[in-house]
Amino acid sequence: MANIEAVLKKTEQFDVITFDVFDTLLIRDVMKPVDVFRFSYGEAGRYIRILAEMSARRASKTGEVTLADIDKKCPFSCKREVAFEKRICRANPLMKSLYDELSKKGKKMYAISDMYLDRKVISGLLKRAGYDLPVMVSCEQGCDKTSGKLFRLFLEKNSLKASDVLHIGDSKTSDYEGAHKAGIKCLLYNKHTNQLSYTDYSKKNYELAAFINHGLYEEKEPVGKIGYEIIGPIILAFCQWVHEKYKEVGFERLYFLARDMRFTYEVYRMLYPDDDARYLCVSRKSLLFAKENPKEFCEYLKKEGCYGNVSIVDTGWVGNAQVEIEKYAKRIDPSSDIGGMYLGSKLAYRMKERSKRSYVCLYSTAAEQYKCQLYPPFMETLIGSNEKQVIRYENGNPVFDREEDRDYTNLLKSGAKKFITDWAERKQNRRVSKDVVRRPFEKLFYNPKRKHIDLIGNLHYEDFKDTKIVSFDEKCPYWRKPGKLLSDLGDSGWKGAFLKKLGICFPIVLGIYLVFGTIRLLLIDAKKVRHNEL
């Protein structure tokens, strides 16, 4: 069914095409149909709702019931699930493409559904998704598809021959076998199974998880799937958070810092074109240049308008760039108060001490500091860009270290961008919880699947040193060369993958990180106390 051309060819000999509705024309952003009850009424309410429907069907002469019939048997109103269906139902992209092509060819099309929702509700859901076709529903006709009676009634009411009709649906029982009982040929559409690698499916994030799961079927590249499931949601949640802070605090302009924020900047401009967001070519090397040549750097900042009530946007972790930029911005305008918005921080308390206008999206609490001590290189590799680096400034313009970009993460970003554009289009850029999107990233970091280590382990982490994100030497007997082991582990930005390749299991990896993070933070705090005493 993924090949539209092949499906269209099969429809040529038929005058009429009928479709199943749910899980065929429409996708529900839940993993199982019963989750409609679970998330509408809660865990206990789900069972009450199911029992109410069973009771209503036993009381029905035909076995078919409407939502109103179920409502009479239920101690609470069942109407809320209609609103829930409106929230989670959207067009199946594959079926929508097929529907559009068949419309161009002038084919007659109908929707046939075994459902307790009435025709008016189902027609409304279909129209919201871009479909316009007549609907026949079992609860109004008193018979279902599984028995073949609803299909036969459809043929009778529309004066059609079974040989003229092709039905398309996802259920082998009700669609395929039911259609055949009425003499109608059926094309079976295989609905999506669970493809999630790191994303949990729970009440807290059911809609996002199901949306990602559906999208993974459309993403063909294995590396792109990682971008779709992990990087895209993080970047989307971060951009939404930055936009909210931008409006809340009242910054005049936003400056996304090179090079880690290049992709994020492009996404932000796509999502929020009316915000005054700009890209600032500042790097660690260029800030070293600025110490010796402050006039040249100030000229660049002045040209870009980076002074006054503005904020930089960066991956974060420590926040040195904000302090340095503000120092030079005050030379242009003494009232300059440079803010900072960061994806994550391993020293959030220090950033907040430096500036009251430092805001951290992820890992901003004291407890979270222990979790992310070794995240930065891995995160920067996945979301950053290996574009040419600015090393100095001349006449208010940046000068780069090479002529061309060499980005190794294009496939990852392609998948991430597809998720973001899909979500923005199909969910109207509905807010994504930043607390939900970090969990899959952490699972990838600490406990990656071996196939993903092979897929992205050779990505380059380029900072002061250019090395692979997993600097694992397959030919080296590490047990005989502990020095080499420690050196390669230190060079690896993705240490969870390195340790897993050594055969160390996840609980031990997590324990090592927690111990290391605790010791590191204690040493930093001790150093800070000694500095204050001096």
| Tokens matching residue 278 | 């700009």
Q: Which residues contact 31 (CB under 8 A, 6 or more apart)?
A: 194, 201, 206, 209, 210, 213
Half-sphere exposure of 129 (CA within 13 A, CB side): 30
* Distance between CA atoms of residues 54 and 63, nearest Å: 9
Q: Which residues contact 129 (CB under 8 A, 6 or more apart)?
A: 25, 26, 89, 90, 91, 96
**Cα(179)–Cα(162) distance, integer angstroms:** 9
pLDDT tens-digit series, residues 320-336: 888 889 999 999 999 99
Alpha-carbon distance of 122 to 8, in angstroms, equals 25
Cα angle 495, 497, 500 (rounded to 5 degrees) comes to 110
Strand residues in 118-236 grouped as ranges (E)? 135-137, 165-169, 185-188
Q: Are 318 and 351 in contact (CB under 8 A)?
A: yes
Q: Exposed e or buried b for every residue in 75-85, given b needs 16+ CB within 10 A?
A: eeebeebbebb
Query: Diameter of the chain by CA atoms?
Result: 94
The residue type at 155 = L
Token duo for residue 295: 């006039």
- Sorted by sequence, the CB contacts under 8 Å of residue 55 that are 6+ apart come out as 73
- d(C-alpha 128, C-alpha 204), whole Å: 25
Domains of the chain: 4-188 (3.40.50.1000), 206-426 (3.40.50), 434-533 (no CATH)
169 contacts 19 by C-beta, under 8 angstroms: yes
Q: Which of 190, 192, 189, 191 is nearest to 209 (CA)?
A: 192
Q: Which residues of the chain have pLDDT under 50?
A: 464, 529-534
> Which pLDDT score is estimated for 6?
82
Whole-model pTM? 0.86
Listed in order, strand segments (DSSP E) in 196-299 are 253-257, 277-280
Q: Determine if residue 429 is left, alpha or beta; phi over 0 gives left, psi from -120 to 50 gives alpha, anything else beta.
A: left
Length of the chain equals 534
Q: How far is CA 27 from CA 24, 111, 136, in A?
A: 7, 15, 19
- Model pLDDT, residue 533: 40
Amino acid 68 reads A
461 with 380: CB under 8 angstroms?
A: yes
- CA–CA separation, 27 vs 131, rounded Å? 13
Using CA atoms, how far apart are residues 131 and 22, in angstroms rounded to an integer? 13
Token digits for 529?
């106390």
DSSP H helices, 449-494, are: 450-456, 482-491
Of 368, 337, 328, 343, the residue nearest 355 (C-alpha) = 337
Q: Determine the pLDDT at residue 353.
A: 65
Report d(CA 260, CA 139) in Å as an integer. Answer: 55
- DSSP annotation of 374 reads T
Contacts of 532 (CB under 8 A, 6+ apart): none
At 464 the pLDDT is 45
DSSP 279: E
Cα–Cα distance, 488 to 510 (Å, whole number)? 19
From residue 485, how far is each of 288, 478, 480 by CA, in Å?
Answer: 32, 6, 9
Q: For the segment 404-445, what is each residue's pLDDT rounded down to a tens digit?
A: 666 778 889 999 999 999 999 989 889 999 889 989 998 998
How far apart CA 373 and CA 517 sit, in angstroms, is 5
Task: Give pLDDT, residue 534.
Answer: 38
Let me know: does 41 contact 49? Beta carbons within 8 Å: yes
The reported pLDDT for the residue numbered 86 is: 92
Q: For residue 460, what pLDDT is reported?
A: 78
| 337: enclosing H helix or E strand | none
| pLDDT value at residue 169 | 92
17 φ, ψ (degrees, to nearest 5): -120, 125
Contact 88, 29 (CB under 8 A): yes
